[in-house]
A = this chain, B = another copy of it.
Amino acid sequence: MDAIEARRRLGELGLSEADAAALIEHFADCEARGKASHGFSRVEWLANQRFDADARPKLLAAAPGFERWDGNGALGYLVLHAVVGSQVAAPPDDARVVVVQRCFPSGALGYWVRRLAECGLVAALTATSPRRLPPPGGGEPLTGTNPLAIAVPSSDGRPIVADVSMGGVTHGDVLRGEARPEQLVPFGGEQSHKAFALAVGLELLVGALAGPEHGAVLVVARPDADPVPAFRALAASVRLPGDA
């Protein structure tokens, strides 16, 4: 599937042109970055998801340093699109915690924090999703893959973007037949208890702040320093997170 076909299919799902464009930008960026599991394959998948094509996310509360949003039935992609756009339009004086309740699917979290870093903001974002990761000893799934994405802007124009799922493979890889369901366990092999611990911590952090449905928590801040150029120099030829 390409962008033109995706636009047609998303239109059939009732999405407006602007909303479809926001999704296509996300899918195309993921394809370009080698994250096909978050790319155009999701268009087919979306046809089987329940969402309200006309719903708009709502800002429920705003205070200095805090916002609470509700997805209000809209697709998670469009919820985060609105949340990120709002941060760019009105950045915090120092830092802000943004709680997003009812936000699914959230897409590739690195995409959202990269947008913030490209606008000069430091960002960390996590989000929950259906329980798919069993504990290291096996058993029923207890947590989502619960990625953590962190982006740091740079005066050289090349932000660092770390985006790490706690699963050894993505659910998208399983959807596309490129991984087996039994590979969807906390990453790390003998040390998978560490990825499991992070998945549990993030699951409950989001649950405690955003309530019982899938949600997201974003921290966005103005940087006080510019550590990326010196870090790139130190790393020399080492490939850094988020680089092509």
Contacts and interface: CB of A to CB of B under 8 A. Distances in A.
Interface of A: 61, 63-66, 68, 92-97, 99, 122, 124, 135, 137, 139-140, 142, 148-153, 160-165, 168, 187-191, 194-198, 200-205, 207-212, 219, 221, 223-228, 231, 234-235, 238, 240-241
Contacts of A65: 63-66, 92, 94-97
Contact of A164 (B93, B139, B149, B198): B198
B188 A240 contact: no
A152 B208 contact: yes
A184 to B, nearest CB: 13
A16 to B, nearest CB: 31
Contacts of A190: 189
B194 A223 contact: no
A162 B200 contact: yes
Nearest to A234: B142
A63 B122 contact: no
Given A122-B208, A187-B191, A201 B63 contact: no
Given A66-B93, A210-B225, 11 more contacts: A66-B95, A95-B209, A142-B231, A148-B148, A150-B198, A162-B197, A162-B200, A188-B188, A207-B231, A208-B223, A208-B227
A226 B65 CA distance: 23
Contacts of A122: 205, 208-209
A234 B207 CA distance: 14
7 contacts: A122-B209, A135-B238, A142-B231, A196-B241, A201-B241, A207-B231, A211-B224
A12 B76 CA distance: 57
Contacts of A163: 197
A68 B95 CA distance: 11
